[in-house]
Structure 1
Amino acid sequence: MKTHFTYFLGNTTEIMFSGWPGQSLESYMLALVSVFLLSLVVEWLSHTKLIDGSTADHYVSDGLKQTLMYAIRVGLAYLVMLAVMSFNVGVLLAAISGYSVGFLIFGSRVFMRSKKIVPNMDQTDDLTPINCC
């Protein structure tokens, strides 16, 4: 398998693991869907509320759960980064699309349940969103 150092189009690529996704178009499409879903899950973890912090008695266990969620989010984000490092344009577009759709669903105001517009006044997410700027 040839290693690319520039972005290219095509379904003959290796993503994250040797021999994956293989040479067929079907396995390449499955790999693109996998990258899309991985990046969508990263956005979901960035904007979700899974820990019930209503009582102050469980702050240690809540902190450990929050740390575990953070570790999972970072691990999945690194997997997406490794996939993008295959320099395949389809993989790059799948990752960007997954992050974008995930933000649209979980982070934008399109599906907000409340009318709060001031950010970070009442943090309702378990983890702070990944900020690039």
Structure 2
Amino acid sequence: MSHDMPMSMPMPTPNNAMGDMNMMHMTFFWGKDLVMLFDNWPNGKLGMYILALFFVFVIAVLIELLSDFPTIKTGTRPIVGALAQASVYGLRMVLAYFVMLSVMSYNVGVFIFVVVGHVVGFFLVKYRVAMKNKA
């Protein structure tokens, strides 16, 4: 009995109608042919790939915007304030894991759009703080 096992798991791709298995990418690659987050999405279609890039960009921006959630206002009941903060944190973690799983597609375009989304979101948060301090 041989103990030799392949280093990567075979994964179905959107283009194999007969069910044969292709190897999953384990290094960065360019191209619109990937599966990200959901089965058959973006399905190798350029329009859906562009939508996926926009999707991860917006999620990355939202993660940064949610990191600057306002503090609990004076007079708010502690349980209400804590639940609000915990809910926002939970949403932020869900979005962060979606972004992490998207980047694990090893697609260079996805990676670039995620990084740029985080940078834009961070800039918006810091710009808003700077404008508050200026006034």
**Which interval holds the TM-score relative to the shorter structure?**
0.7 to 0.9
Letter in 1 for 2:73: G
**Max radius of gyration: which structure?**
2
Q: Which residue of 2 aligns with 1:24?
A: 45
Q: 2:112, 2:130 → 1: CA distance?
A: 24
Query: What secondary structure is seen at the aligned counterpart in 2 of 1:113?
Result: helix
Q: How many equivalent residue pairs?
A: 113
Match among 28, 31, 34 for residue 7 of structure 1: 28
The 5 A counterparts of 1:81-96 are 81-96=100-115
Give 2:78's aligned residue. 59
Is the alpha carbon distance of 1:111 and 1:19 closer, same or farther for their aligned partners in structure 2, counting shifts above 3 Å? farther
> Equivalent residue of 2:30, what SS?
coil
Amino acid at match of 2:62: V
How far is 1:107 from its partner? Answer: 2.8
Q: In 2, distance between residues paired with 1:31 and 1:65?
A: 30
* Cα drift, residue 48 of structure 1: 2.9
What percent identity do the matched residue pairs reach?
37
In structure 2, what is the equivalent of residue 114 of structure 1? 133
Q: What is the distance in 2 between the residues matched to 1:102 and 1:61? A: 27
Quote the residue 1:36 is aligned against.
Answer: 57
Report if aligned partners of 1:15, 1:21 keep a CA contact under 8 Å in 2: yes
Unaligned segments of structure 1, at least 5 residues: 116-133
Tell which has more relative contact order, 1 or 2 (C-alpha 8 A, sep 6+).
1
SS in 2 for 1:107: helix
Shift of 1:22: 1.3
Contact kept? 1:12, 1:22, Cα under 8 Å? yes
Structure 2, unaligned runs of 5 or more = 1-12, 14-21
Per the normalisation by structure 2, the TM-score is 0.77
Question: Structure 1: which 4+ aligned runs deviate by more than 3 Å?
Answer: 108-112
TM-score scaled to structure 1, two decimals? Answer: 0.78
